Amino acid sequence: MGITLAELAALVDGEVRGDTALPITGGASLESAKPGDLSFVQDSRQLIRLKDCRAAALLTTSELAQDPRLAPFVRVIVRDPAAAFSIILQRLQPARSRPARGIAPTACISSSATIGANCYVGPGAVIGDNVVIGSGCDVHPGVVIGPGCRLGNDVVLHPNVVLYADVSVDDRTIIHAGAIIGADGFGYRFADGRFEKIPQLGTVHIQDDVEIGACTTIDRGAIGATIIGAGTKIDNQVMVAHNCEIGRHNVFAAQVGLAGSCTTGDYVRLGGQVGIKDHIRLNTGSSVGAKGGVHKDVPAGETWIGYPATPEAEQKKLVFAVHRLPQLRDQVKQLSAELAALRDEVARLREPNSHAA
């Protein structure tokens, strides 16, 4: 039967304009919503998408609610529709509960490991010597935790995560399936016609409230630690090389790659497939757009795009110039033809008999 719109509105301090008893059975985007679904309109750019929308009700702001395109819908007025939708969606579609607490019989755990209270260790997990795991942690099936690792409280390691030896993971960190933390950095020196491995003797320290995406790799430091700062969120298939030091509350989209010894300030944002040269500094509040290639330090607060990446305003000028190239080519052809005609005319006028003619 669903949940009444009034009940859902109460979760987000919303004001219902329309049928408060309307039953809501799910949440969806404007395009995919069905009768009974709740959706949201965050800004005026979305209004054009309402033409074929079949949602039963919409979350929106008081300003947008005045638009006549919203008139056919029951509306719930909130300050931030996207945030309210996220809260309501958790009520409509609750996440699956955490696994039951306890240790699976098939987990392989060293006798010297210490596991805190209220933890879950799944089938096939391997926990090495002298590992310390805090309370309330979830270690899913197939996870490997190498010797000497330290986990804080409420850490979640999804299936097949691998922590190499001596990695530290602080409180409330989430690491998704297949991520590998603490593999050797890509360090070699060329001598006598061959590459010789440089020992990677450091570690990785992941601070509080970090989330790391599936199949991401974070290499250990050659000396000292690779550091991921508190609150940082890293997407799937990201590569963080040895001895990088990432600041607090950074956000990296999928397939970002940072070469060795890069550092970032706080609140740095990197779009998908950004590549960062080794020993580069991205200062606090800076951003790099998708597929940007960064070869020099980015100042605080600036947004860079392109390859090689430069400030956004500079790149836009280059893009506009490139788009004008066909027009400029035609103009050059026309000017060349006119110049050739002028040269012919000048040559004719210089001929001895030209005046007599």
Does 56 lie in the same domain as 167?
A: no
| Domain annotation covers residue 160 | yes
Does 78 lie in the same domain as 113?
A: no
| Domain annotation covers residue 134 | yes
Which residues are known to be catalytic?
242
Does 193 lie in the same domain as 54?
A: no
- The answer for residues whose C-beta is within 8 angstroms of residue 257's C-beta and 6 or more apart is 238, 239, 241, 274, 275, 276
| Domain annotation covers residue 97 | no
pLDDT per residue over 162-210, tens digit each?
A: 999 999 999 999 999 999 999 999 999 999 999 999 999 999 999 999 9
Does 85 lie in the same domain as 122?
A: no
Does 280 lie in the same domain as 167?
A: yes
Does 282 lie in the same domain as 300?
A: yes
Q: Residue 348's pLDDT is what?
A: 86
Does 262 lie in the same domain as 156?
A: yes
Does 75 lie in the same domain as 106?
A: no
Does 307 lie in the same domain as 260?
A: yes
Where in the sequence is the domain holding 239, given as residue range(s)?
102-313
Does 159 lie in the same domain as 54?
A: no
CATH number at residue 284: 2.160.10.10
Q: Residue 327's pLDDT is what?
A: 87
| Domain annotation covers residue 157 | yes
Does 260 lie in the same domain as 111?
A: yes
H-helix or E-strand containing 332? helix 325-350
- The answer for residues whose C-beta is within 8 angstroms of residue 335's C-beta and 6 or more apart is none
Structure tokens at 279: 């020993």
pLDDT, mean of each 10-residue run, the chain (357 residues): 89 95 94 94 92 94 93 95 95 90 97 98 98 98 98 98 98 98 95 94 97 98 96 98 98 97 98 97 97 96 92 79 83 90 88 63
Q: Residue 321's pLDDT is what?
A: 78
In 184-282, which ranges are E strands? 188-191, 194-197, 203-206, 211-212, 217-219, 225-228, 233-234, 239-240, 245-246, 251-252, 257-258, 263-264, 269-270, 275-276, 281-282
The model's pTM is 0.84
